[in-house]
A and B are shown apart, each in its own frame.
Chain A
Amino acid sequence: MDFELSSEHLSLKESVASFVKKDHSFDRLRTLRNDPLGYSKEVWKKMAELGWMGLIYPEEYGGLELDFAFVMVLLEEFGRGLLPEPWISNVLLGGNLVLMGGSESQKHEVLPGVVSGDLMITAAYLEDDGRYDINFCATSAEQRGDAYFISGKKIFVLDGLSADRFVVSTRTSGSVADKDGITLFMVSSHDAGVKITPLKTMDGRNACIMELRDVSVSGSNVIGEVGRGYPLLSEAIDQATAGICAEMVGGMKSSLDLTVAYLSERTQFGKPIGTFQTPQHKTADMFIQKELAVSSVYYAIASIDEKTDERALAVSIAKAKCSSAYIEITKAAVQLFGAIGFTNEGDIGFFLRRAKVSEILFGDTDYHLDRYTRLSGY
């Protein structure tokens, strides 16, 4: 058993931390909130130049082929500063699905662009009436001749407004909630019959609703095998979920640091409020929740790295733990800041917004608790 980061991990941590300090600020978030994309293409390009899009991709596509713990380190630092750039959707969802299931030609077509930051790709897999179930798929793909015709509606497509390509889950056989019979297709935003309706998230990022009406795609756009899309989707989403958990841990750490600093400076009744027992005990609870969340993420990340059978279980534990911890921590933080915590002038409130979005993203607490009960056999 080994839960220690190597010196290579730590050196990435350091360079990401200094990037976040130099190229990012909470004022940038204040501006980007009113921007339809919600992130900066310039910052995205800089991140790509540093090689961060290619962390887990093989060298032949321009990547660095590092282990998953590097993802944890990177995202934790992103989470510390609440970087809004769409790393998770591009690298861990869209690009990752191509990496895991794509043909050689699909990989060569897509992955170098993801690594260089020039091609934006996400996944469209959620539907109305399915809540967070990724097997729930009413969107159909009907084969006529060499082509498939896709019709249906995908909801809450993460970073969908800025995406050039989408990996879309469709049903080619079986009934609406079956795990078999799901086929993944690569669809372009310009394809005829694709309608994108923008959504803005509570924390200022972009998403979209994607409607497909008889969208024609060739058979060469199938990712993986026909009818066998579910295992791919499930693995990519587990990795993305572990990723968001690492980001959440970064947010928890910042929330705690900001709160401790504020409690040490701000005086009331002639003393720093940090000397009072109630704020002290609330802060101690924030610390405890943060520590437990960190451990749960380490376990999930290591399970992904080692490709153990426990991957899905470990991811659900981490997501359930991080969701409840992040929400608890940020609620307490805003409370301890008092009125300033409830303003957009203060920084701490951004973490509360981000915590709520992260809690829901890739399945809320109850969804993961329920998945946990099934995976652990009761």
Chain B
Amino acid sequence: MKVSYSSDEERFREEVRKWFEENTPPDVKDQTLGGSTLEHDLMFKWHKTLYEKGWISPEFPKEMGGAGFSETEQFIFNYEYSHCGAPRLKTKLVSLGMLAPLLLQHGTKEQQDRFIPDMLSGKTIWCQGFSEPNAGSDLASLNLKAVPEGNYFVLNGQKTWTSMADHADWIFLLVRTDSSGKKQEGISFLLADLKTPGITIRPIEALTDHAPFCEVFFDDVRVPRENLVGKMGEGWKLAGALLQHERLNAFPVGELIYAIETVRKNSEKTIYRGKPLMQDPVFRRKLAALEVDCNSLLYTFFRILSQLKVGSAPGPEASFLKVYGSELYRRVMDLNIEAVGPYGQSWYNLEEFDNSIHQATMGWINSASLTIWGGSSEIQRTVIATQVLKLPRK
């Protein structure tokens, strides 16, 4: 048993940290917590910087335009990335995080060549069309119809909670091509250009006052047959494979550690009864309890990482990383609001106040979404109970 990184890993960590320290622009750094609400122009600029460095896709092989990092290097990279206060890059999350690995496995050579290079460079921005109104976490109950007609599918229906659809160029979709059998059957996986006539996009305003997601309407939209990924009716299987790519990156533990360090900083700045809040015994104890939990979660990542090294890949038992991480993140954000005191009630005070107030309030609101998206905490707990602990299903 060994707790520290090897000297090679340590050297790599130093190199990555140094680069981020020197190259992360101040205007993209430190903006908000709990998922980023960074302006899109800044996000594209940052995407380009990482692309030019060759670090836009740590997990991809070098010959595919990725960084070709090992599993441990990926973990270190992702950790250092978020630990320096760099924002989540929505321009790469679904394209390089989900779609590209899927295309490499199940797409045609033509689809790979046509789409992947532009995902890397950021020339084409993708969004993901899985969720539908009233489906919630029941992903398979989808109704967007795709009827084959000559060399096209004709699409009618609606998607919702589509992140960044209003800034994206393309969408990948789960569509219903057959409704005769079980609801998981008859689903297909399609790629659609968002400029196709018949598509309407309506942004939805979130509690952050931003519009991070949209409704997307399809009215007789004609999608070429060559945009089908895999075979007809294989969509459910493909979606499952795609969600498995999340593994260790399902929850960005570096962001959590960054957030708790932010709480530390804020509680050193805040003065209460003549002393930094950090010295208040009650506050210290609360902070320590959260740090113990954050550390335990971080060590759990290390533990899973060393399982991966010897080739025993964790299955559904890793699903608790997301549910626990997101709930812990919310507790950290609660304490951060406590740390900034009365100003924790404020909103949009970027000019008048220190950015830490905006970070705290926006981060707190943002964190409320973490336990909902990507499979709610309730769904995740049911997965743990039935798939990991093997409790009987209904």
Partner-B contacts on A (CB < 8 A) = 1-5, 67, 69, 256, 260, 263-264, 271-272, 274-275, 277, 279-281, 283-285, 287-288, 291-296, 298-299, 301-303, 305-306, 308, 310, 314, 317, 320-321, 324, 365-366, 369-370, 372-373, 376, 378
| B303, A3: Cβ atoms closer than 8 Å | yes
| A366, B285: Cβ atoms closer than 8 Å | yes
**B36-44, B188-196, B287-295 - the one binding chain A:** B287-295
State the Cβ distance, B255 to closest chain A Cβ, in Å: 18
Interface residues of B in 293-338 (CB under 8 A from A): 293, 295-297, 299-300, 302-303, 305-307, 309-310, 317, 320, 323-324
Q: Which residue of B278, B292, B324 contacts A320 across the interface (Cβ within 8 Å)? A: B292
A-B pairs, top 3 by smallest CB distance, nearest first, are: A280-B385, A284-B381, A295-B299
Q: Which residues of B contact A296 (CB under 8 A)?
A: 292, 295-296, 299
B4 within 8 A of partner (CB): yes
| B3, A321: Cβ atoms closer than 8 Å | no
Q: Which residues of B contact A302 (CB under 8 A)?
A: 1-3
**Which of B378, B384, B386 is packed against the most chain A CB atoms within 10 Å?**
B384
Q: Which residue of B289, B384, B392, B394 contacts A284 across the interface (Cβ within 8 Å)? A: B384
State the Cβ distance, B168 to closest chain A Cβ, in Å: 35
B247 within 8 A of partner (CB): no
Question: Which of under 10, 10 to 19, 20 to 34, or 35 or more describes the interface residues of B?
Answer: 35 or more
| B391, A263: Cβ atoms closer than 8 Å | yes
B5 within 8 A of partner (CB): yes
A-B contact pairs, 5 of them (CB 8 A): A3-B303, A4-B307, A69-B1, A291-B320, A302-B2
B268, closest chain A residue (CB) = A378
Q: Which residues of B contact A263 (CB under 8 A)?
A: 391
| B296, A292: Cβ atoms closer than 8 Å | yes
Q: Which residues of A contact B388 (CB under 8 A)?
A: 287
Total A-B pairs, Cβ < 8 A? 153
A281, closest chain B residue (CB) = B381
With A1-B9, A284-B385, A287-B384 known to touch, is A308 a contact of B3 (CB < 8 Å)?
Answer: yes
Q: Tell me what chain A mostly uses at the interface: helix, strand, loop, or mixed.
A: helix
Q: A2-B309, A275-B391, A288-B384 are in contact. List 11 more A-B contacts (CB 8 A).
A: A1-B3, A2-B2, A3-B307, A4-B310, A69-B1, A280-B385, A283-B385, A287-B389, A296-B292, A369-B289, A378-B264
B298, closest chain A residue (CB) = A295
With A280-B385, A281-B378, A288-B320 known to touch, is A317 a contact of B391 (CB < 8 Å)?
Answer: no
| A378, B278: Cβ atoms closer than 8 Å | yes
Q: Which residues of A contact B320 (CB under 8 A)?
A: 284, 287-288, 291
Q: Which residues of B contact A372 (CB under 8 A)?
A: 288, 291-292
Q: Which residues of B contact A295 (CB under 8 A)?
A: 296-297, 299-300, 302-303
Q: How far is the CA of A306 from the CA of B390 in the complex (A)?
A: 37
Q: How far is the CA of A306 from the CA of B4 in the complex (A)?
A: 9
Q: Which residue of A274, A283, A284, A321 contacts B293 across the interface (Cβ within 8 Å)? A: A321
A365, closest chain B residue (CB) = B289
| B300, A376: Cβ atoms closer than 8 Å | no
B237 within 8 A of partner (CB): no
| A271, B394: Cβ atoms closer than 8 Å | yes
B380, closest chain A residue (CB) = A284
Q: Which residues of A contact B300 (CB under 8 A)?
A: 291-292, 294-295
| A260, B299: Cβ atoms closer than 8 Å | no
State the Cβ distance, A246 to closest chain B Cβ, in Å: 12
Mask of B189-222 contacts with A, CB within 8 angstroms, 1/0:
0000000000000000000000000000000000
State the Cβ distance, A9 to closest chain B Cβ, in Å: 9
Interface residues of B in 214-269 (CB under 8 A from A): 264, 268
Q: Which residues of B contact A373 (CB under 8 A)?
A: 284-285, 287-288
Q: How far is the CA of A298 from the CA of B382 in the complex (A)?
A: 27
State the Cβ distance, B75 to closest chain A Cβ, in Å: 10
State the Cβ distance, B5 to closest chain A Cβ, in Å: 6
B328, closest chain A residue (CB) = A292
B180 within 8 A of partner (CB): no
With A287-B384, A378-B278, A378-B284 known to touch, is A321 a contact of B306 (CB < 8 Å)?
Answer: no
